[in-house]
Amino acid sequence: MSPALADLPLRKVLDGLRKAGFEHVRTKGSHAVYRDSTSKLVVVPQHSTIKRGTLASILRQAGLTPRRVPQADRLRAVVRAGW
């Protein structure tokens, strides 16, 4: 896991995915599926807070990577910038 990742609220993660071009496709149980224009799928658990390990998995599925910096809150800035 990257030290640059930190737990984030679900809303921030979803906002970042939308800014990166992902749209909601379906929800089953507590997991939502998002897809981009290249049909890349990302599964996001619908928990109030997304843990950093889960966040790393979401980023891998989306083909996105936060820049590596020592601050633990770097991803918050990346999400605000729209990845």
The predicted-structure confidence for 28-81, as pLDDT tens digits, reads as follows 999 999 999 999 999 999 999 999 999 999 999 998 877 543 344 555 666 666
C-alpha to C-alpha distance for 47 and 43, rounded to whole angstroms: 12
pTM score above 0.95: no
19: phi then psi, degrees, rounded to nearest 5? -65, -25
Largest CA distance in the chain: 36
Q: Is 2 helix (H, G, I), strand (E, B) or coil?
A: coil
- The pLDDT value given to residue 70: 39
Asked if residues 6 and 75 have their Cβ atoms less than 8 Å apart, the reply is: yes
Enumerate domains of the chain plus CATH numbers. Answer: 8-64 (3.30.920.30)
| 5 and 75 Cβ atoms separated by less than 8 Å | yes
